[in-house]
C-alpha cells in the first residue's frame, strides 16, 4: 500500500514497498499545473495523488524507464496529460520496456494485467523547464544508473528530485554505466547552492550529503577500491554491491578486448 508524506507546501511524496526495496514518487503542485514525478509500479500507486490534483493541468515526468518508475500511469487521466522524459527513455519504450512487462506477466499470470505502458509524449536532450504557475521544475539529463536518467530541480524550494541517480545505501551500477560522467554531473549538483533537500527514489530523503556519499562510492568503484557501506545491507543491496564490484573487472576486460582488436588491425 502506498504511503504519502508532505515534504514542502508545494511537494508531496508517495512511497510503496516492493519485494526487495521501496520506491518513491513525487507530486509538485503549481497554481496552474501539477507534475507527477514517476508513476511507480502499479496504477493503484497513484491513488494518493489523485485527490490533490484539483483542476490543474497534469504533467507526468519519467525519471527513467525502469519498470518500478513508469508502470502506474494507467492510474491517472494520462490521455489528457503531457508525459515528459529524456529522448532515451522514449527509445526504451520501443525496446526493453515491453520485454520486461511481458516477462513479469509470464512469471506471474494475472498479477500485472492492470499495467498499461504509456510512452512519453514529449522528450528533451539536455534540459527542459516546466512552468507550473508560481513554481518551476527544471529537468536535467544525468546519465549513470541508466542512459535515460534525469533529475528535477524545484529552484524556488531548493528541492532536487534525484530519481535513481542518488540512492541509499548505494547506487545500482550497470556494466555500461559511465562512471566518470555520472560522478562529474553529481559534483555539479553537490556544489549547487540551490539544492537544500534531496529526494531520491530509493532510500531516505536528506541533504546534499546524500549526493556526496554517492560520489564517494562511485569514485571508489571507478578507482578499483570498492568499499562496503557502513550500514547493514538488505539482501537486495548486498547483492547489488557484489554486482557493482564487478564493474571494474568488466571495464578492464572491455579495454583489453578493444586493445587486442586494435592491435589485430594494425
254's grid cell:
572491455
Bridge-based pairing of strands 33-37 and 57-61 is parallel
pLDDT tens digit sequence for 60-78: 999 999 999 999 999 999 9
Select from 149, 154, 146 the least CA-distant residue to 35. Answer: 154
Domain around 156 = 3-265
CB-facing half-sphere around the CA of 6: CA atoms within 13 A: 5
Measured from the Cβ of residue 138, the count of other Cβ atoms closer than 10 Å reads: 15
How large is the average pLDDT for residues 221-228?
Answer: 85
Q: How far is 105 from 115, CA to CA, in rounded Å?
A: 10
Average pLDDT, the chain: 92
Backbone angles phi, psi at 189, to 5 degrees: -70, -35
Number of domains composing the chain: 1
Domain CATH for 111? 3.60.15.10
For 176-215, write each residue's pLDDT tens digit. Answer: 999 999 999 999 999 999 999 999 999 999 999 999 999 9
Amino acid at each position: 500500500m502506498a504511503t504519502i508524506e508532505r515534504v514542502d507546501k508545494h511537494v508531496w511524496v508517495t512511497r510503496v514497498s516492493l519485494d526487495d526495496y521501496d520506491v518513491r514518487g513525487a507530486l509538485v503542485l503549481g497554481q496552474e499545473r501539477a507534475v507527477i514525478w514517476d508513476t511507480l509500479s502499479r496504477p493503484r500507486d497513484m491513488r494518493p495523488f489523485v485527490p490533490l490534483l484539483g483542476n490543474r493541468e497534469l504533467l507526468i515526468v519519467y525519471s527513467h524507464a525502469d519498470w518500478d518508475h513508469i508502470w502506474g500511469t494507467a492510474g491517472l487521466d494520462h490521455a489528457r496529460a503531457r508525459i515528459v522524459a529524456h529522448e532515451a527513455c522514449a527509445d526504451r519504450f520501443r525496446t526493453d520496456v515491453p520485454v520486461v512487462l511481458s516477462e513479469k506477466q509470464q512469471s506471474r499470470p494475472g498479477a500485472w494485467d492492470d499495467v498499461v505502458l504509456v510512452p512519453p509524449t514529449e522528450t528533451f536532450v539536455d534540459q527542459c523547464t516546466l512552468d507550473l504557475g508560481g513554481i518551476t521544475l527544471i529537468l536535467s539529463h544525468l546519465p549513470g544508473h541508466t542512459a535515460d536518467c534525469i533529475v528535477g530541480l524545484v529552484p524556488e524550494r531548493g528541492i532536487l528530485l534525484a530519481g535513481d541517480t542518488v540512492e541509499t545505501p548505494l547506487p545500482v551500477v550497470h556494466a555500461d554505466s559511465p562512471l566518470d560522467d555520472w560522478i562529474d554531473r553529481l559534483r555539479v549538483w553537490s556544489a549547487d547552492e540551490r539544492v537544500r533537500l534531496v529526494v531520491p527514489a530509493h532510500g531516505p530523503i536528506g541533504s546534499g550529503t546524500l549526493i556526496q556519499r554517492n560520489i564517494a562510492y562511485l569514485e571508489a568503484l571507478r578507482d578499483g577500491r570498492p568499499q562496503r557501506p557502513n550500514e547493514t545491507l538488505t539482501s537486495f543491496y548486498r547483492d547489488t554491491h557484489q554486482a557493482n564490484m564487478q564493474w571494474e573487472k568488466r571495464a578492464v576486460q572491455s579495454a583489453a578486448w578493444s586493445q587486442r582488436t586494435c592491435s589485430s588491425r594494425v
